Amino acid sequence: MINIKKIYANGTDEEEFFKQVAKRSGETDKKVTAVVTEIIENVRSGGDSAVKAYTEKFDGKLPQYYEVPRDVINDALTEADPAFTDALLNCIENISDFHNRQKSQSFINPKENGVVLGQRVRGLERVGLYVPGGTAAYPSSVLMNAIPAKIAGVKEIIMVTPPLKDGTPNKDILVAAALCGVDRIFLSGGAQAIAALAYGTEEIPKVDKIVGPGNIYVATAKKLLYGIVDIDMIAGPSEILVIADDSAKPKFVAADLMSQAEHDKLASAILITTSEKLADETIMEIERQVQPLARKEIIDTSLSDYGAIIICGTREQACDIANRLAPEHLEVLFENPMEYIGRLDNAGSVFLGDYAPEPLGDYYAGPNHVLPTSGTARFFSPLGVNSFEKRSSFIYYTEDALRTAKDDIVLVAEKEGLTAHANAIKVRFED
């Protein structure tokens, strides 16, 4: 029996539940931080030998090769199931089309007085892509991270991924990497791989930014190394919020809640609805649909601990709660869902209507599936082309233009007590 909570929104009960959900993303375990800190320092000083030692320690044996040879990558693509390759190519087409529209433009702004201002936009030099291995290997994550990087103009993408137990790479990951144009792939995982990307080793190049999902050790390493290298975001457990009225189909709602609950026992799946009938029928549908699912135990735990069905008075109230939660994934199953886009300000990605379920966004539609979690959609945005760009401004002034501006600049500089700043202006106009 699925033990998902049913809560009536009264300003108190739902808030208590939201506090419980928020605890999933609490402070990182101090023991994990200590372990990761030691790994980082050892890799910083020991380079590849330290990385390989940790690989042997944590994965049981060294892989067949450290860097995956190009012919192995090409063979994986050649030998792949054609239907799988075609599916990935269709995904790539949609993801590329969406992200090509995000490209920023450099600009130059010449003025009548001879002043020239502008901005130059270009891709980062080198990006590291972390891809989990084993049973948590997701080719879709390769697509979502590598494609916007390529569109941004990143010159080189370095992938790190743990080897399988037999020491070989996951072939599905290799296929996705080949199709996306990943440049080099190293068989290494965990915090040691993150440290290697951040500092560089004899063989693994130092990168400017690290992206991609991972376990608590990977996430902690990214957090500790932020500043040495840029990162995509500090990701918490996955979450979905469905807001629905009495027009929603219970079997769709149930299926969509479970699609996120199966990720992790810490995942959160919440339904907010104006219809108690929908609430009750959704619970029955969950019980019916969960039985044959492969990850039933994970779904049971997730829905029992961090799932809920919240009954509220109006659609507007449901929208207000959604903005308060700022969920990673937000499904709008209202009668006219398009009417509510302007009301929903805080969400990583919004899915509108009966036929835009969350997995559509995970794989195929085009928008990125690397999304802010744990309420950070209030101020963070999804991964995109801009995540892999850097900008520099440029300024050119003529002598006459600076003469016109000099008194204002000197006055402000002297108000701030920065007399050398003021002098750098004044010295240019001394007799």
Does the active-site annotation cover 416?
Answer: no
Q: Could you give the residue ranges of the DSSP H alpha helices within 273-426?
A: 276-290, 296-306, 315-325, 358-363, 399-415, 419-426
* C-alpha to C-alpha distance for 290 and 254, rounded to whole angstroms: 9
Q: What tokens does 59 get? A: 């994965």
* C-alpha to C-alpha distance for 349 and 368, rounded to whole angstroms: 8
Check: CB of residue 54 under 8 Å from CB of residue 39: yes
Q: Which residues share a beta bridge with 332?
A: 243, 352
**Helix or strand or coil: residue 24?**
helix
Does the active-site annotation cover 329?
Answer: yes
Check: CB of residue 113 under 8 Å from CB of residue 339: no
* C-alpha to C-alpha distance for 28 and 30, rounded to whole angstroms: 6
Q: What tokens does 259 get? A: 């699609």
Which of 320, 319, 255 shows the shortest CA–CA distance to 288?
255
Q: Which residues share a beta bridge with 187?
A: 161
* C-alpha to C-alpha distance for 237 and 373, rounded to whole angstroms: 7
Which of 213, 263, 265, 240 shows the shortest CA–CA distance to 347?
240
Report helix angle 82-100 to 171-180, nearest 10.
Answer: 40
Residue of 14, 329, 331, 389 marked catalytic:
329
Residue of 14, 262, 285, 328 marked catalytic:
328
Which of 306, 332, 336, 337 shows the shortest CA–CA distance to 321?
332
How many Cβ atoms are within 10 Å of 243's Cβ, its own excluded? 27
* C-alpha to C-alpha distance for 383 and 373, rounded to whole angstroms: 12
Which of 196, 188, 238, 203 shows the shortest CA–CA distance to 221?
196
Tell which phi-psi region holds residue 11, choosing left (phi > 0), alpha (psi between -120 and 50) or beta: left
The catalytic residue positions are: 328-329
